[in-house]
């Protein structure tokens, strides 16, 4: 009987070790300047389940993103949330972006944003303030990749340090 208890303990112990694994919360945003379109183009990748959690927590809607039963108001609330939590400044002045839409890729939602009519000569600096999901996930990290007129810079933004800047 002691042998069975020891074997059982050896089988259960590894399972208990994995119960402490914590999910990794991250979004990835690419910011690019298109000379052809004279626009700042932004692509943001966010885990669908995390975004559903924030929509339910902040706005009380069950979005059912990437499903046949997706809430008709989901896109409206996605845009509303992004406008509150993702800000872009050019030369220190906040700029409004167009929400072009979203698509899904497996478990990720890809959002497309654009600031039109930005001449390349007028850009001296671009600053991003990214608080996406930091209001409900303390561990949230928002990775920003700038690629503007040959300059590249990346940041990992967190709740306490939510701004990244590229000087040109």
* Number of structural domains the chain divides into: 1
Between 17 and 59, the higher pLDDT residue: 59
157 within some domain: yes
The phi and psi torsions of 32 (rounded to 5 degrees) equal: -135, 145
Share of the chain above pLDDT 90, in %: 80
Quick one: tokens of 61? 């809607």
Give the max Cα distance, the chain. Answer: 80
Residue 102 CA to residue 5 CA, distance in Å, equals 53
Whole domain around residue 30: which residue ranges? Answer: 21-167
8 within some domain: no
95: helix, coil or strand? strand
Mean pLDDT of the chain: 88
12 within some domain: no
79 within some domain: yes
**For residue 1, what pLDDT is reported?**
52
Model pLDDT for residues 69-123, shown as the tens digit of each residue: 999 999 999 999 999 999 999 999 999 999 999 999 999 999 999 999 999 899 9
């Amino acid at each position: 009987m002691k042998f069975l208890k020891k074997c059982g303990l050896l089988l259960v112990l590894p399972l208990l070790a994995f119960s402490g694994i914590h999910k990794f919360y991250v979004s990835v945003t690419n910011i690019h300047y298109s000379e052809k379109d004279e626009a700042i183009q932004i692509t943001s990748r966010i885990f669908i389940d995390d975004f559903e959690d924030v929509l339910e927590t902040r706005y009380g809607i069950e979005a059912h993103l990437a499903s046949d039963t997706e809430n008709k108001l989901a896109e409206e609330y996605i845009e509303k949330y992004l406008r509150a939590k993702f800000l872009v400044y050019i030369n220190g002045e906040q700029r409004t972006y167009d929400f072009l839409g979203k698509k899904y890729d497996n478990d990720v939602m890809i959002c497309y944003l654009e600031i039109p009519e930005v001449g390349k000569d007028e850009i001296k600096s671009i600053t991003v303030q990214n608080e996406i999901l930091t209001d409900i996930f303390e561990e949230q990290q928002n990775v920003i990749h700038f690629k503007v007129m040959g300059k590249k810079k990346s940041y990992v933004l967190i709740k306490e340090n939510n701004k990244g800047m590229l000087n040109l």
